[in-house]
Structure 1
Amino acid sequence: MQTLSLSQSGWRWLWLAPLVFALDIGSKWLVMQTMEYGFANRIEVLPFFNLTYVHNHGAAFSFLSDAGGWQRWLFSVIALGVSGLLAYWMRHTPADKRMINIAYAMIIGGALGNLFDRLVHGYVIDFLDFYLGQSHWPAFNLADSAICVGAALIILDSFRQGQSSTKHE
């Protein structure tokens, strides 16, 4: 891997991670302060979207939510490890590769937002509830959204990189 100065590296985009973190934690704080817990206390916003304050003791889609508590620490270690790895990659990625650096920063900010919840509350606070009829998508939060958008940007960037390398062959 190449060594770049901090201003030339992807760390130039790292400011986005604390922004995502702050928006996530702020939105969760607002939900906790203004909403009652549980699906029965939802706020109907659109015919397919509610605000619903719930706790997630697991990971995405409540994966391992009923595992007994050890999963809190597993997901915390994973969040720290992934964030560290992505920060390392950002340090060695040129700053002009915007899409991939923005993706990494969004994932870092989202992972640290959910990590904060796990360490402070023992669970992740979710509140975005999309549904169709009686079928509800698992509730999620802004950190989850940032992680998903970041992952989608990584996939999109890999397709863009693949297209540019095939054009030069």
Structure 2
Amino acid sequence: MSDVSNARSPLVWLWLALLAIVLDQATKIAAESLLNYAQPVYILPVLDFTLLYNPGAAFSFLADQEGWQRWFFTLVSAAVSIMLIVWLRKLPRGSVWLPIALTLILGGALGNLIDRILYGHVVDFISFHWNNSYFPAFNIADSAITLGATMMVLDVIREMKDERAKA
């Protein structure tokens, strides 16, 4: 058995957050330079790239407000990012699954936070649809957040199964 003191800190996974931020910002810059606003570019029968701006939160929540939501969501994103870093630091050395989930969420939150600070809105461009039903447009940051949150849910399910097995 390996010595816990020699195990890696969960902070070692912060490179994933940085990767998510870099990929997110690079793809948003590409979308801004290659796409015309609100003009879909066909990729697959269920996928378009459509440049859109979201001044609200997920699924354009509060997007129709008069601008206060920019600063509200900026503060929420900053607070969540700090909380995630603190949580990450407190995880046991050698942890892998949960630190990866948290750093993906952190990278996504910071990617969208950069947009809010620089532009006052989040840049979205990935648009999935089926016939005339469209899923809200999203970006790489949103994908990182979704993947990290899914991993957290799977971690909770695994822990519940482990607890039942011990009982």
Shorter-chain TM-score bucket reads over 0.9
Q: Secondary structure at the match of 1:114?
A: helix
Contact (CA 8 Å) 2:7, 2:94: kept in 1 or not?
no
Partner SS, residue 14 of structure 1: helix
TM-score by length of 1: 0.92
1:25 corresponds in structure 2 to 25
Cα drift, residue 164 of structure 1 = 1.3
Cα shift at 1:118: 0.5
Q: 1:112 to 1:154 in 2, by over 3 A?
A: same
- Map 1:44-55 → 2, pairs under 5 A: 44-55=42-53
Instruction: State the alpha-carbon separation in 2 of the partners of residues 90 and 7 from structure 1.
Output: 15
What is the aligned partner in structure 2 of residue 138 from structure 1?
136
Gapped regions of structure 1 (runs ≥ 5): none
* TM-align CA RMSD: 1.6
Matches within 5 A, 1:59-138: 59-138=57-136
Percent identity between the aligned chains? 41
Deviation at 1:145, TM superposition (A): 0.7
Report the secondary structure of 2:63's partner residue: coil
Aligned residue identity for 1:123: H
Q: Count residues in correspondence.
A: 164
Task: Specify whether residues 92 and 113 from structure 1 end up closer, same or farther in structure 2 by C-alpha distance, changes over 3 A only.
Answer: same
Q: Give the C-alpha shift of residue 96 in structure 1.
A: 2.6
C-alpha deviation, 1:167, in angstroms: 1.4
- What is the SS of the residue equivalent to 1:128? strand
TM-score calculated relative to the size of structure 2: 0.93
Cα distance change on mapping 1:7 and 1:86 into 2, 3 Å: farther
Moved over 6 A (4+): 4-7
- The AA in structure 1 aligned to 2:108 is G
Shift of residue 139 of structure 1? 0.4
Aligned to 2:14: 14
